[in-house]
Amino acid sequence: MEPAGPAVGQVQVWDAEGRSADAAAVRRIADAPTAVWFADAAPGFAERARALVASAAAAGRTPVLVPYYVPQRDCGGHSGGGAPDAGAYRDWIGQLAGAVHGSSALVVLEPDAVTHVLQGCISASAADERYTLLGEAIRAFKADPGVRVYLDGGNPGWVKDVDRVVEALRRAGVAEADGFSLNVANFETTDANIGYGTAISDRLGGAHFVIDTSRNGNGPATTADSGDGHWCNPPGRALGPAPTRETGHDRVDAYLWVKRPGESDGACGEGAPEAGQWWPDYALALATN
């Protein structure tokens, strides 16, 4: 986690305004270990990663990083963007992997990248290139055996055909990773993810996985005013189980807060800011529901 995140600042603002109950609620987010996303090539990104792993080591904690810069990211959706081409991505991954070398970092690699291929929103040639890039990224991080890598595999509410997911993960090089991740930035229940992940794991020889529990306390929305409402800032959601390695399941290596609770999924729904922007009202709802 980064100690100067927006939740920390929000607690300070509301304390100063006398909103002590609201500040105490959002402190549940501010005090929780959350992943740090790397989503662009702005100057200093590698230095930021080095500082993160150094501060985590000093505190005796494990840094969780989320590389999120694959070309044609999010298929042009709310979080669209990514590297301009394969060469730029390879260079970026190389710098990021170098920055965490020698650390105990945990990497959740490219949320949604594999599942978007299955969704068919990029061309066949772009899909082949993406599989290649993801495999190269896994190998770049795993050049250091102390770094653990989990390739993202979507969530149980998205692609329900487990065999398709397994084949895609294989093509992307999951065998060279430490496992796969599920439910990043989504709301599916922990139990649903355990069932889905176990089915994938069975087909991958017992591969381990991690689950994003940051916002799944109430599970997914079942009704919404828009087509995005199931996953994009749905109302009535809640924080999920706290981050821990003690999951009680031998193949589930950790429950993580990968998506930062309180950051918008996109400009969907009344008053919602752009993807990744801090949204105090939504954060407060997550912390109090």
The pLDDT tens digits for 100-130 are 999 999 999 999 999 999 999 999 999 999 9
Q: Is 143 exposed, middle or buried (0-12, 13-18, 19+ CB in 10 A)?
A: exposed
Structure confidence by residue, pLDDT tens digits, 191-220: 999 999 999 999 999 999 999 999 999 999
Which amino acid appears at position 44 of this protein? G
Q: Catalytic residue among 15, 31, 74, 228, which? A: 74
Residue 76 has pLDDT above 90, yes or no: no
- Give CA torsion, residues 265, 269, 272, 273, to 10 deg: 60
Q: Helix 162-171 to helix 190-203 angle, to the nearest 10 degrees?
A: 60
Per-residue model confidence (pLDDT) at position 122: 95
Please state, as a whole number, how many other Cβ atoms lie within 10 Å of the Cβ of residue 278: 16
Residue 230 has pLDDT above 90, yes or no: no
Per-residue model confidence (pLDDT) at position 190: 98
Residue 184 has pLDDT above 60, yes or no: yes
**74 tagged catalytic:** yes
Token couple for 105: 């970092």
Backbone angles phi, psi at 151, to 5 degrees: -80, 130
Q: What pTM does this model have?
A: 0.96
Average pLDDT of every residue of the chain: 95
Q: CB of 61 within 8 A of CB of 284?
A: no
Nearest to residue 76, comparing CAs of 9, 125, 123? 123
Structure confidence by residue, pLDDT tens digits, 9-56: 999 999 999 999 999 999 999 999 999 999 999 999 999 999 999 999
